[in-house]
Chain A
Amino acid sequence: AQSVSQHNHHVILSEAASLELGCNYSYGGTVNLFWYVQYPGQHLQLLLKYFSGDPLVKGIKGFEAEFIKSKFSFNLRKPSVQWSDTAEYFCAVKAGYSTLTFGKGTMLLVSP
């Protein structure tokens, strides 16, 4: 079975700072990888996904993530965060035709 590890439970940044959230998964075969975002009081929304091709994936709102197969990683990045990026971020993995497995989430707080 696959598992997902998110390194930071809480991250606090100032506006304009750069962001990198770590995500590692454990599964030796082909995987699909996702980052979801949950704004306060809202449901989960897809930020970006990787399933094949270019390992550098660009998503909505200026986010991107890089799939590094050799490191089993799919880290989320944004060059300059905004106050509106305050949210909880979830990495998720799907191996083959299995269901999604989520990490425990990283709460990002951006101070203005």
Chain B
Amino acid sequence: NAGVTQTPKFRVLKTGQSMTLLCAQDMNHEYMYWYRQDPGMGLRLIHYSVGEGTTAKGEVPDGYNVSRLKKQNFLLGLESAAPSQTSVYFCASSYSTGAGTEAFFGQGTRLTVV
């Protein structure tokens, strides 16, 4: 059981380049999330999705776009990367957002923008 899988695990981008991070889950979860983790800042929600074809903004959505064309996949795009987007990105999924529902996390993608 793979759980939540993120691709790639590491990436270095030049300022202005674009890229897409892929998150795939095999647990048939409805909800998927993208977080960024920065030292001393904890995890901050970028965007999330409550089901196939839906997306919503989180706490820090600027500079990112997302798509959920298939239930199992949640893509995070950076159209024009900036050094401020250097971070570790985590994808997560959950069955619902009901009481006690936990989120399952991927291994993370370490992105450096130079």
Q: A51-B100, A52-B100 are in contact. Are A104 and B42 (CB under 8 A)?
A: yes
What are the residues of chain A within 8 A of B2 when measuring CB–CB? none
Interface residues, chain A, CB within 8 Å of chain B? 4, 6, 9, 32, 34, 36, 42-46, 49, 51-52, 90, 94, 97-105
Name the distance in Å between B4's Cβ and chain A's nearest Cβ.
8
- A46–B101 Cα distance when bound, in Å, is 11
- Give chain B's interface residues, CB within 8 Å of chain A: 4, 33, 35, 40-45, 48, 58, 90, 92, 97-103, 105-108
Is chain B's interface secondary structure helix, strand, loop, or mixed overall?
loop
Q: Which residue of B lies closest to A9 (CB)?
A: B40
Closest CB in chain A relative to B94 CB, distance in Å? 9
A99→B105 contact, CB < 8 A? no
Most chain-A Cβ atoms within 10 A of its Cβ — which of B43, B48, B58, B100? B43
